[in-house]
Structure 1
Amino acid sequence: MANNSEKTRYSDAELQEFKEIILEKLRIAKEELSALTKSLNASNANGTDDTAGTFKTLEDGSATLEKEQTNQLAARQKKFIDNLEAALVRIENKTYGICRETGKLIPKERLRAVPHTTLSMEAKMKQY
């Protein structure tokens, strides 16, 4: 059995463990995106029919800001979902957990914390 420094990829059993972590994060992320989308759709319905006077301007501005923030959250959530789905593809290809800069295995602790990462901390630190 090769030790960790010689290991070039995670075993099928390890990949399955990561797959389960990613699938759970994906399920939660999709639920959150669905809630954000519903929130945006509800605010659209309320915002268009309101024809009250100018005293509503401040409230409208606040609603617009809230809508923009919700849009940004939804966009980030979509990107997170895309990254998780790409990680599932890497699991299927058996390339998951290999740093795209160094070619070394990304430590399990980092993958558990950020399961969609493609960079080891060593490579990530070089970006700054």
Structure 2
Amino acid sequence: MENTTTKTAPTRYSDTELGEFKQLIQNKLEIARAEYKDLLDVLNGSASNDDNSGAYATLEDGAATLEKETIYQMAGRQQKFIEQLEAALVRIGNKTYGICRATGKLIQKERLMAVPHTTLSMEAKLRQN
């Protein structure tokens, strides 16, 4: 006799839940793109350099170079974050969003709300370290 009371874990999120995640990701994407644009604006605006003379010019040049490198790194991280969010939107479209790429199990909703671009469950992430 077959046991019909056994409840199997869902294999994917419902369309309603995917819609909620999509809205969350689109909001984060909008913010991330605006921040990325701001970083690029700062980089493009920092091309103008005051012609200071004296002993402080070298220090200021070094500080300006360090600041520019930091902003380049921030812009690079922001661009990667945008790409990860866009990839998450593709997974939502494919209805594979929220499925751990290591275990094949659903990633906890709380984790996806906090890190919507993740592709690993906490179980898999902890095994990775």
What is the TM-score with the length of structure 2 in the denominator? 0.91
Shift of 1:6: 1.5
Corresponding residue of 1:25: 28
- Structure possessing the higher radius of gyration over alpha carbons: 2
Greater than 6 Å deviation, 4+ residue runs: none
Counterpart of 1:113? 114
Q: Aligned equivalents of 1:51 and 1:23: distance in 2? A: 43
Q: 1:101 aligns to what SS in structure 2?
A: coil
Q: Which runs of 5+ in 2 are unaligned?
A: 1-5
Q: Check if 1:7 corresponds to 2:10.
A: yes
Is 1:53 equivalent to 2:53 in the alignment?
yes
Matched, 1:34 2:15: no
Q: What SS does the aligned partner of 2:46 have?
A: helix
What residue number does 1:82 align with?
83
In terms of fraction of residues, the more helix-rich structure is 1
Q: Which residue identity is paired with 2:52?
A: A
SS of the equivalent of 1:83 reads helix
Alpha-carbon displacement from aligned partner over 1:88-109 (angstroms, at most 9, x marks no partner): 0000000000000000000000
Within the candidate set 46, 50, 70, 1:43 is matched to: 46
Q: 2:63 — aligned with what?
A: 62
Q: CA deviation at 1:51?
A: 4.0
- Matched length: 123
